[in-house]
Amino acid sequence: MTHLTLDKVSVHYDGQPAPAVERVSLDIAKDDFVVLVGRSGCGKTSLLNVAAGLVEPVGGLAAVGGRPITGPGSDRAVVFQNDALFPWLTARENVAFALRLRGVPADKRARRADGLLSLVKLGDAGDKRIWELSGGMRQRVGLARALAAEPEFLLLDEPLGALDALTRERMQTTLLDLWAAAHVGVLMVTHGIEEALVLATRIVVLAPGPGHVVRTFETHFGRRYAAGEPIRAIKADPAFAAARAELTDAIFEGEAA
């Protein structure tokens, strides 16, 4: 099975006195949902950008299936916090963007895009312009667009960060549904502790100064949802509350009060 691996990766931006990330290793299999959490400045987004090929590490090795990552590629589609959709295209054309780049014929890519739009429950929004969609709908178009590239890994940079609390909660289950349906490995960055617990199969807690891994949690709440358990029941489980307390402690560990 293909793995996305970061091996002792360090990131140091030009003009910065200290590195942003130092010797962080990650291994993401194709059925993993790995969530990076941590305080501001812990290098979460830097690591995601290394995996995306948008930032070149100064040390260590990033690779997909053993091949070193040398730049962005459609095997690792990125979804950003701000949707980054193209307002001159309809929702359908946005989703079909990767297919258009590859020269897929128009009727075929429209059909594929419509299929993906119904997968994210936007089946009738294909002709809508981006500015006619709500924040949650835009983010779903962004996810469908990323999946259209048929990536092996989805890299999500706070994809729900700009949404209101209720939409956010609904989008969490959408993400889990997509993850199950699309057979992709996910690497996600978030600020939400509960969000991390709901979604992840593994949570990697980072701490700043420079960014390093402090703890790794294997979690099972996302898989329980995938197995059919309702999300509310999972969140009401005392085990969930205990995990949340433990994760919160890990995130704020070592921080001067």
- Count other C-beta atoms under 10 Å from residue 133's C-beta: 18
63 binds other proteins (CB under 8 A): no
C-beta closer to other proteins: residue 65 or 209: 65
Binding mask 147-176 for other proteins (x = CB under 8 A): -xx-----x---------------------
Chosen residue from 41, 59, 60, 73 binding other proteins by CB under 8 A: 73
Chosen residue from 4, 24, 52, 199 binding other proteins by CB under 8 A: 52
Chosen residue from 98, 113, 144, 188 binding other proteins by CB under 8 A: 98
Of residues 172 through 231, those in contact with other proteins by CB under 8 A are none
Chosen residue from 78, 122, 137, 141 binding other proteins by CB under 8 A: 78
CA dihedral sign, ordered 30, 74, 39, 58: positive
Q: How far is the CB of 84 from other proteins (least distance, A)?
A: 4
Which two three-digit tokens encode residue 1?
Answer: 């099975």
Q: Which of 211, 204, 209 is nearest to 11 (CA)?
A: 211
106 binds other proteins (CB under 8 A): no
**Strands 33-38, 202-207: pairing kind:** parallel
| Residues near 209 by beta carbon (within 8 Å), at least 6 away in sequence | 18, 41
**Strands 59-64, 67-68: pairing kind:** antiparallel
Q: Are 14 and 38 in contact (CB under 8 A)?
A: no
- Residues in contact with other proteins by the rule CB under 8 A: 52-54, 71-74, 76-80, 82, 84, 86-88, 97-98, 100-102, 129-131, 142, 145-146, 148-149, 155
